[in-house]
Structure 1
Amino acid sequence: MPDPGLSQFTTVFRASEPRRIKRNRQPVSCTACQKRKSRCDRRQPCAACEKRGDAPSCHFGPTASAAAANPGQNRTEVQDRLSKLEALVKQLAEEQTGARHGVHVQDGHVDVHTSRAEDAARLEYRGPTSWASVVDNIHDIQSALEAEDSDQGPESDVLDVTDILCGSSRTTMDEILQVLPSRTDVDKLISAYLNAKFMSIPFIHPGQFRRQYDKFWADPTSISMCWISILFSIMSCGIKITLVKTISLSSGPESRDASLYMNMAAKCLVTGQYLKGSPHSVEALIAHVHSRHIHGQDSDATLWTMFGTVVRMAQRHGYHREAHKVSAKISLFEAEMRRRVWFTIMSYDLLWSIQQGMPPMIHEDTCDTALPLNMADEDFDENSMKLVPRPATEPLPILAYITKYRLLHILHPVVRHALGIKRGTAADAAALGTALDKWHENVPACLKYRPIRESSFTDASHTIYHRNMLEMTYHTSRCVLMRSFLSSRGQSGIYTHALAICRESALQLIAMQVDVYSETQPGGRLYEDRFMVSSLSLFSFLIAAMILVLELHDYDQMPYVFPCASPACECCQRASQEERAHCTQVLRSTQKMWETRSDTSADAAHVKRILKAMLRCVDSPGWQSESDTLCRTTHAQEEEPEKASERNPWSDGVLPTGSHGFPEGSVGFDATLPMESFFNDVEGLDWVGPHPPGAEPMKLPEILTMTAELYR
């Protein structure tokens, strides 16, 4: 009789395992789908394997008994798959190495290139903090997602709201074809733009653009709306060139309406859903902002706001990273064009941020995009298997941009020094100044600055402009760096050094202004290419003029800001009479230039008034007597220096909030800044000068108000 204490375990413990019956049925899924746990349509090969490009490995495994009888087959299959994986890894490694060193293997078919370009344009870069990048590194999940690509899920709801940047208007292909002039006229506009090497943006490759252009005329619907937006932006810039060069167009007067083409470019951007990251969206928005910038007569803060969107869109697509780190699908040609795009973005972001007195949106420590290669456009195309840069001996436009790109990397810390909440030290400024000087020394010989009259007869106009642009950028950068130390009058050594650098750069900038102005007049060498001198390119000249105005002002105001015991004190020493006379004469030489532009530019009109008032006061007989009065007032305040410090907010050597550096002066990359901080606290000072009979004398506060209005 069984033991009652063991009866409860008799159905739990068994002496041997139960017999398992295995059914010998044929598998209904291929072995690959079984491993991926994906649905198989039971074809040979199945749709999932075809989509993955893995058709040779798609087969239906044998029954269990057959597999047990032939174990070598499984081993062979594993070895084949391992060999295939090794080949794939080697291929990816070669592609990445080619992207780094200028070697890339392609099949040479344009159709394949087009497909790769479209795939690359749709790529979204995700940094390591993104949850999606975590999923990408989980092999099992990634395999399942790739197998289920056909089921993408429902699209996100998109609200039909107004586009705050480009408006809500959309366009149709019928409207586009109706607005376009004849192809002959469009050809002229594009040719004029692409030949204006100093005005055209560097990421428009003429060969590639021509092929896309021909494709557009053959079948307009085959081209994306964002590419058509680029076309309209180029046409709007071409209008400005043809008007200066008096190039005739066969179409009616409406074909010369640049604003019409700019509006169509905006409509195409909205229709092409540029904010969703469609192909050419980043380049199209840059081209649109650039065209508006070229046609602008005065500074426009709206463009800086729009460019903030450009920066974020470009980062979303990984333009701030080297192409091989974003995707292996990006070809060698596309990688080079992406570098040129990123250079343009960095330039605008940095220099327009200086204009607004705000920190740049791009942080250099998060970017690793390399410099563009020094190649002419005809040196490479979509089918290039190797990119070989030229030596830096020929003044190619791209060489000027590469040289400027190197300067931008120095200008970033200069801007941080100028805009930082904590004031930078003199040692930091000295190190940055050394870096600027070293860059200036290393400018390629073919791009070294020389006066226009000393340029070779064979030098192209854009080469002359590029030389001027680089030189202006250098001298403006020095002013940005040393501007804050002009308030350090309590430290005579720092102040004297900063003033000497700013004066030297300001005088050089104005000398360049006189040179360019002279050569763009009728009969001058650059008269036919005067369209390259944008109104915004003159703001570096404006800064130079304001620095000299500041120096003339300080010439007779130093006793006021320094409560010294004696006018002979070192910190109260004034510039020599010869230097003062020279600065005054230089300002007089620029007055006519600003008057010439004042009819079309509000900024130039304000500058003209400021210079006129300043020079009138300098010539006033009361100028020196006022200075003597101020000097006596200063000595009377000697016993209470803290009160003088209260009157002068810069006496501690710290810039007041809102004071900024200066912009860079080149077409497409110029800037302005608030001017309230250019002068000391001189409230109540009556700056009397000659004035018409019956008119009230102009006081310095009025001049400062005029200056401030210029930058509001």
Structure 2
Amino acid sequence: MEGARPVLSCASCRQRKLKCDRNQPCGNCVARSTDCVYSSASRNRPVAAQRRDGNANLENRLRRLEELLNTMAPRGSQQGSNGSAATSSREQNDREKGASPEDNSSLQSDPFNLSDVKPGRMMSSDSQVAYVSSTHWAALCNEVAELREGLEQTNLAEHTDNAEISYGSGPMLLDGLQRPPDLKDILSGIPPREVTNRLVSRYFTSNVISLVILHAPTFEKEYNRFWQDQEQVLPAWLAVLYGVLAMGSFLFLRSQEDLPGDLGNTLIAIEAFQRRSTECLMLSNYSSSPGPYTMEALAMNTQIEFVRRRDASVGVWVLMGVAIRLALRMGYHRDPSHYPQLSAFQGEMRRRVWALTLQLDALTSCQIGLPPMINQAQCDTQQPRNLLDEDFGPDFARLPPSRPETELTPVLYTITKTRMTNVFRTIFNHAGLGRVDSYNQIMELDQRLNTTMQSISPRLKLTSFEDSVSVPPWLLIHRYSLELLSLKARCILHRYYMTQAYSDPKYNYSRVSCVEAAMSILKYHGQILAETQDGGLLCQHKWFLSSLELHDFLLSAMVVCLELSFRARAKSGSGGGQSPVKFTREELVGSLQRSQILLDTLKVHSSDARKASVALAVMVKNFTQPQKPQEESVSGFEPRDQYANSGSLPLYPSEAESILGSMSFDEPYMSSEAIQTSHPAFSSSLEGVGTFFNTSEIIDWDQWEAFVQGSRSTTDSF
């Protein structure tokens, strides 16, 4: 009988189908920091004998594993209980100190070393990828070194919850009520290649945030293979392609250009491509069997849904939640360095996808006023490196060193934005805890925000407009985005202690920081409005104006209104003194008036802008018309003691709610000029503004109530 072919490669190289240099350890294992193990079995024994011995050996190992699991399970439960108790104890201490459990790593030292925590287990096959935490039984199998190789070669389905491959295995709400079209039907929606080429080229020559999750040279090879044999395409990859076509069409729309070929109406084309992308995701069983390209397709799908809508959408936020859960299921929240089966290229692209996921989570959550869904305390994925796509590829055994951040690359903005988003997420989470942090914690977060801003590359720092005339529009937009995010974080961070400063000067830093950040936001919004007009630096990027969050407008305007209200009350009373804020009353009022003009430009396309514009008109009117003298003299504008001392913030003030809650937008929108000539219509047109303001708890409604009381004399006269 013919002898078996000698096994010369190590186990790791055989598993990955790599060429082994047969050293001990080999070069591939050194690059991946994995164990290099060579088979010690006889190379001259018959294959059948080796298989019989191997099967018997595997059975013995599996029996031993079963005994090991039975022994470890009770012990693991006991340790888990002890660990939970210890964690609960630490969290209780954190609550007493005013720190959130999620942010312990940044605000105080952790006695546990993260490197000591088992990273869980990554299991993959050609069609799907799954991750389980270190407490899952499948991860325990990975602890048995002798079984690692054999078990990794088994079918992934044996370790998952028997996921079905056929359509309809997931929840009906995710799979849809109708079976998606077959692949042949979906492929019929692809435009001719010359048209598709132009849409793909427009996407890859842009600077949209999703661009970094696709490796351009690799996508180009896959794209060419697709045109050679469309029948062999993976549905998830086709979902990515349709997403690229949808975003490419959107880029034509925002630059006010006609689509190539006979695609017709741009909005209809975008919706058609988005529908096809969604059908491809459904066909790929993304919810039950996520695999290669699933996260890229979901990120593209979510981004398109986001840019298609002028106003905040709960549906987009829910869709983002689905994407986040699948990312966790696939282990994107754990750094790829833990998993040797992931190549250097795969790991870096996963880091890019996770960075974009973090940004979209914070963006969509804050937009509707809910906490972000990702718990950073459970994540250790590192930032992607500052590399060009040409710097690395699928054939690289290891990544090259990161380029310096003084060198502008497409991924540098993603790296910087993710850092800023992580700080913003921490601040936003603290603001939504339903209690007030100590001032020391506020100042620690303020210092962290300052440090993050100082670390921004000079290439991405916003400079004066006079120094930006030669800056490309896309780079100017990136600079504005980073600056506005940091200013919004500062407003949210200091919004509570700003009002405390009215009665206690030791908090004046928060008052000054909050007002100056709010005024800067309003100033930058005005600059952007001016530059998006014909002939401006951003005249081809009017979409950027409409994409600005209206929540930023109202947050900033509210801060300015509170400052104006305090000054008015302090002037009528005996307190107040010299304001530490550098802006005059005229400058503060002027910023509100300019903001109302900006909102008026958006009201045609956005119902939220219409509501915000009318609400802002109430504020402006309060400070531009003479007010009736107050019946009671207020000195120092002191907040109510029950809120100042309880550590909690009121959600809805009774009197402000009675005014704002009775507002309606059933009537057609009226301009500020019409408001002055038609008081009853204005009164009826304000219904519902309260729901816009109630999107989150970052506004101090106690102070807002006091402000609205000053407006009552005007609104009552209507």
Structure 2 residue matching 1:296: 3-state secondary structure: coil
Q: CA deviation at 1:340?
A: 0.6
Alpha-carbon distance in 1 for matches of 2:460, 2:674 = 46
Who is 1:354 aligned against? 366
1:197 aligns with 2:172: no
Identity of matched residues, %: 22
* Alignment deviations for residues 134-167 of structure 1 (CA, whole Å, 9 cap, x no partner): 1222356657656876996995567556642463
SS state at 1:125 partner: strand
Conserved? CA contact 2:320–2:361, under 8 Å: yes
Structure 1 counterpart of 2:79: none
Equivalent residue in structure 1 for 2:435, among 416, 422, 427: 422
* Structure 2 counterpart of 1:608: 613
Match of 1:364 among 372, 376, 388: 376
Q: Displacement of 1:704 after TM fit?
A: 8.8
Q: How does 1:601-680 map to 2 (within 5 A)?
A: 601-621=606-626, 623=627, 625-626=628-629, 628-631=630-633, 634=634, 645=640, 650-652=643-645, 654-656=647-649
Of residues 425, 428, 442, the one that matches 2:455 is 442
Counterparts in 2 of 1:545 and 1:251: CA distance versus 1, 3 Å: same
1:695 counterpart residue number: 679
Inter-partner Cα distance in structure 1 for 2:13 and 2:690: 73
1:207 is aligned to 217
Contact map agreement 2:236 2:297 (CA 8 A) in 1: yes
Change (3 A) 1:254 1:416: closer
Shift in Å at residue 684 of structure 1?
A: 7.9
**TM-fit CA distance, 1:612:** 1.8
Q: Which of 157, 181, 189 lines up with 2:191 in the alignment?
A: 181
Q: Quote the residue 1:284 is aligned against.
A: 297
What is the match of residue 129 of structure 1? 135
Q: Is 1:589 equivalent to 2:589 in the alignment? A: no
Q: For residues 576 and 397 of structure 1, do their structure 2 counterparts lie closer, same or farther at Cα, with a shift above 3 Å needed?
A: closer
Structure 1, unpaired ranges of 5+: 1-41, 57-82, 99-115, 560-565, 659-675
8 Å contact kept, 2:550–2:612: no
Cross-structure match for 1:502: 514
AA aligned opposite 1:619: T
CA distance in 2, matches of 1:147, 1:697: 72
Pair 1:415–1:691, CA change in 2 (3 A) = closer
Q: Could you give the per-residue CA deviations for residues 189-235 of structure 1, whole angstroms, max 9, x where no partner exists?
A: 12222222144442112211111111111111222111111111221
Q: Indicate which of 330, 344, 349 corresponds to 1:317.
A: 330
1:528-607 equivalent positions in 2, closer than 5 A:
528-537=540-549, 539-556=551-568, 567-570=573-576, 579-607=584-612
- Whichever residue aligns with residue 589 of structure 1, its letter is R
1:475 is displaced (CA, Å) by 0.7
CA distance in 2, matches of 1:577, 1:351: 31
Instruction: Please tell me whether Structure 1 or Structure 2 has the larger radius of gyration of its CA atoms.
Output: 1
User: How far 1:50 moved relative to its partner?
Assistant: 12
3-state secondary structure, aligned to 1:527: coil
* TM-score, normalised with respect to structure 2: 0.72
Aligned counterparts of 2:631 and 2:408: Cα–Cα separation in 1: 56
| Distance apart, 1:337 and its partner CA | 0.9
Matched, 1:708 2:672: no
Q: CA, structure 1 residues 166+649, in 2 after alignment: closer, same or farther (shift >3 Å)?
A: farther
Gaps of 5+ in 2: 15-19, 36-121, 664-672, 696-718
Return closer, same or farther for 1:176/1:453 CA change in 2, 3 Å cut-off.
farther
Q: Residue 489 of structure 1 contacts residue 653 of structure 1 at CA under 8 Å; is this kept in 2?
A: no
Matched residue, 1:665: none
Q: Could you tell me which amino acid in structure 1 is paired with residue 129 of structure 2?
A: L
Cα shift at 1:368: 1.6
1:250 is aligned to 261
Specify the code of the residue in structure 2 equivalent to 1:601: S
Q: 2:489 aligns to what?
A: 477
Deviation at 1:302, TM superposition (A): 1.4
Partner of residue 217, structure 1: 227
> Which one-letter code corresponds to 1:322 in the other structure?
D
Asked if 1 retains the 8 angstrom alpha-carbon contact of 2:239 and 2:277, the reply is yes
**What's the counterpart of residue 232 of structure 1?**
242
Q: How has the CA–CA distance of structure 1 residues 487 and 248 changed in structure 2, closer, same or farther, with 3 Å as cutoff? A: same
Q: 1:225 to 1:50 in 2, by over 3 A?
A: farther
Which secondary structure state, in structure 1, belongs to the residue aligned with residue 449 of structure 2? helix
CA distance in 1: counterparts of 2:426 and 2:693, whole angstroms: 27
Alpha-carbon separation, structure 2, partners of 1:483 and 1:252: 49
Deviation at 1:339, TM superposition (A): 0.9
Task: Specify the code of the residue in structure 2 equivalent to 1:488.
Answer: Q
Counterpart-to-counterpart distance in 1, 2:236 and 2:400? 28
TM-score by length of 1: 0.73
Question: Does 1:381 pair with 2:374?
Answer: no
Quote the offset at 1:600 in angstroms.
0.6
Residues 628-681 of structure 1, C-alpha deviation per residue, up to 9 Å, x if partnerless? 3242xx58x99xx9xx94xx86343634265xxxxxxxxxxxxxxxxx58x996
Distance in 2, matches of 1:704 and 1:594, equals: 18
Change (3 A) 1:144 1:302: same
The letter for the 2-side match of 1:253 is: G
- TM superposition shift of 1:264: 1.2
Change (3 A) 1:46 1:197: same
Counterpart Cα distance in 2 of 1:551 and 1:396: 41
Q: What RMSD over aligned residues (CA atoms) do the two structures have, in Å?
A: 4.1
Q: Deviations over 1:8-54 (max 9, x none)?
A: xxxxxxxxxxxxxxxxxxxxxxxxxxxxxxxxxx984399x999979
